[in-house]
Amino acid sequence: MIRTGEHERAILVGVATPSERRGRVEDYLEELARLADSAGAEVVHRILQVRHSINAAFFIGRGKAEELSYLAEGKKIDIIIFDDDLSAVQVRNLEKLIKCKIIDRSGIILDIFASRARTNEAKTQVELAQLQYMLPRLTRQWTHLSKQFGGIGTKGPGETQIETDRRAIRTRISHLSTKIREIGKEREVQRKGREQFPRLALVGYTNAGKSTLLNWFSGADVVVEDMLFATLDSTVRLVSLTPAHRILLSDTVGFIRKLPHNLVASFKSTLDEVREADILIHVIDVSHPLFEEQIAVVNETLEEIGAQGKPTVMVFNKVDLLGNRNVIAYVSANFPHAVCISAARGINMSALTDALVSLLEGTVVEETLTFGQGEYDMVARVHETGEILEERYDGEGITVRVRMNRTRLEQLKKSLLIKRKGDGRTA
């Protein structure tokens, strides 16, 4: 198993290519350093190679790999962590050349998940994802695996140890998959019992402040820590926003750039809370230099789990850390329905409650409107009063998907009808 014990000495490696600029890769390495730290490794050195393309055999250039091998020996390195996913061939070649453990971003994320998993559900989900990750990467280094699965991995005549290991892993994967399906069914039964309240789910990049927000609303005692992936399980609390507005608020695992796909898939039952929510509260750490990219990562992950397109409140958290008010001005200009708060300091929380209440009351609705060529003045009005979710032009006119206040939408439709009657068209 991939285990990074306490204080293993690590080197981080990133590659900048024409499509992945140097500055950005530096930020990614910064995040990778936090991941390494969360996994209990000590980052001794970072390497950033600029290349035209990724090397198929070694990921980095062969010369660089040899240099890395000397460096690893000289600095007594235990583990080398690559920021991008490595192919089985790349791992094998690198392991031949460099005498220490080679791991990639997915591997380290899985490792952190494995060390944080507490409940039976989380443990099962992480183990499944780890085995799926491991299966195509089995190399000679892993030939001890079958011993961990007791009697299953008895070596058959003429078979190699690796084949035996693969079979043991496949058997275990199918066992875990069945177990996860059963857990999923149990959760569904639990959810059915709580159907009378609207369900809101906190989503966001890891460390954004989701659990802090849940604690603020509910007085719950969910673990809040300045580390990546503090939360792995879902917690659901009944919260009274106002005496008339009671909701079920759930907190769950955070997302990150390149969250391994099999991890997302095996966390399906945990993420059901998000998939089945009525409203999402997308929490953003606005003090982070890459917060916009983090928003994009969260949106992609929501799509991956089939939870996209739900009514969403964008909550820009940690405003107390902003030295510069320009960021808030920027956020208000670019995210029309943003709420800027500090969950830790309790700043502007009534605005958040108001936003949630108005969404709950259905005062905000989403609709798709189609306008003809002579109706661009109406399109301008839509832009003024609503949040444009999507806009498509074709030869006939414009189709706009918009989120806006229900009353304003009714007024707008009425004006459109009057205008069309005046123009002799039917609506």
Ligand X SMILES: Nc1nc2c(ncn2[C@@H]2O[C@H](COP(=O)(O)OP(=O)(O)OP(=O)(O)O)[C@@H](O)[C@H]2O)c(=O)[nH]1
Closest residue to ligand X, judged by C-beta, is 254
Reported residue count of the chain is 427
Q: How many whole angstroms separate alpha carbon 372 and alpha carbon 51? A: 50
195-214 residues in contact with ligand X (CB under 6 A) are: 204, 206-212
Q: Does 318 bind ligand X (CB under 6 A)?
A: yes
| Cβ proximity to ligand X, 345 vs 408, nearer residue | 345
| Cβ proximity to Mg ion, 255 vs 291, nearer residue | 255
| Cβ proximity to Mg ion, 58 vs 217, nearer residue | 217
Q: Is the dihedral of CA 227, 103, 61, 293 positive or negative?
A: negative
Q: How many whole angstroms separate alpha carbon 249 and alpha carbon 82? A: 37
| Cβ proximity to ligand X, 162 vs 344, nearer residue | 344
SS3 409: helix
Q: Is the dihedral of CA 74, 78, 84, 87 positive or negative?
A: positive
CB of 230 to Mg ion, least distance (A): 5
Q: Does 224 bind ligand X (CB under 6 A)?
A: yes
Residue type, 300: E
Q: Does 234 bind ligand X (CB under 6 A)?
A: no
Q: Does 342 bind ligand X (CB under 6 A)?
A: yes
Q: Does 106 bind ligand X (CB under 6 A)?
A: no
Q: How many whole angstroms separate alpha carbon 309 and alpha carbon 369? A: 17
Query: Helices (DSSP H) in 193-324: which residue ranges?
Result: 210-218, 261-266, 268-275, 291-304
| Cβ proximity to ligand X, 93 vs 207, nearer residue | 207
CB 356 within 8 A of CB 339: no
Q: Which stretch binds ligand X (CB under 6 A): 45-53, 96-104, 189-197, 338-346?
A: 338-346
E strand segments, 35-87: 41-50, 79-82
Question: x/- site string to Mg ion, residues 226 to 245, per CB under 5 A?
Answer: ----xx--------------
What torsion do the CA atoms of 341, 342, 347, 349 make, to the nearest 10 degrees?
A: 60
| Cβ proximity to ligand X, 231 vs 234, nearer residue | 231
Residue 58 interacts, among Mg ion, ligand X, none and using kind-specific CB cut-offs from 5 to 8 Å, with none
- Which residues sit at the interface with Mg ion, rule CB under 5 A? 210-211, 230-231
- Which residues sit at the interface with ligand X, rule CB under 6 A? 204, 206-212, 224-226, 228-231, 254, 317-318, 320-321, 342-345
